[in-house]
Amino acid sequence: MIPTGGQIDTDELQEVQLPSRTYRLDLDKKRATGTVDGLDAVRQAVLKILQTERYDYLIYSFDYGSETAGITGRSPEIVQSELTRRIREALLQDDRINDVTDMQITVSGDSALATFTVVSDQGSFEGGVTVGV
């Protein structure tokens, strides 16, 4: 609480970037092992975001996850357009990710493969996800 008549000098406030350290997920053994930070933490976040369906889990806010359900049975052109938009929208919610570029979507039968480049403040890397359509 600020005392009456008190002021906050906003010229001295500095924006500080918090570390992105988190638990390392071992998906093969289905457990957390140690910690991960930097580009590896962003890479893990991308994987987790794209594997989590938005709105399905109460533990996550409505800003977390991707919306890949609901494009089943659509034409390949609509799948490509919607998947591009939905992946970009999901990943750009993470403030460490600056852009998602070079999106390529290949629809084959009942699945679509999306490959892309994630540009983050920690560096860039190639990512991808396969979605049932």
CATH code, domain carrying 47: 3.10.450.40
Residue 6 has pLDDT above 70, yes or no: no
Give the bridge partners for 101, in sequence order. 117
In a domain, 2, yes or no: no
Residue 71 has pLDDT above 80, yes or no: yes
Number of domains composing the chain: 1
- E strand or H helix at 124, and its extent? strand 123-132
Q: Residue 86: which domain range?
A: 19-132
In a domain, 63, yes or no: yes
Band (pLDDT 50/70/90 cuts) for residue 11 is confident
Sign of the alpha-carbon torsion through 123, 28, 65, 79: positive
Using DSSP, state whether 38 is helix, strand or coil. Answer: coil
In a domain, 59, yes or no: yes
In a domain, 57, yes or no: yes
Which whole-number Å values give the CA distances from 70 to 51, 54, 78, 115, in the listed order?
Answer: 15, 12, 11, 20
Cα(33)–Cα(23) distance, rounded to whole angstroms?
Answer: 7
DSSP 64: S
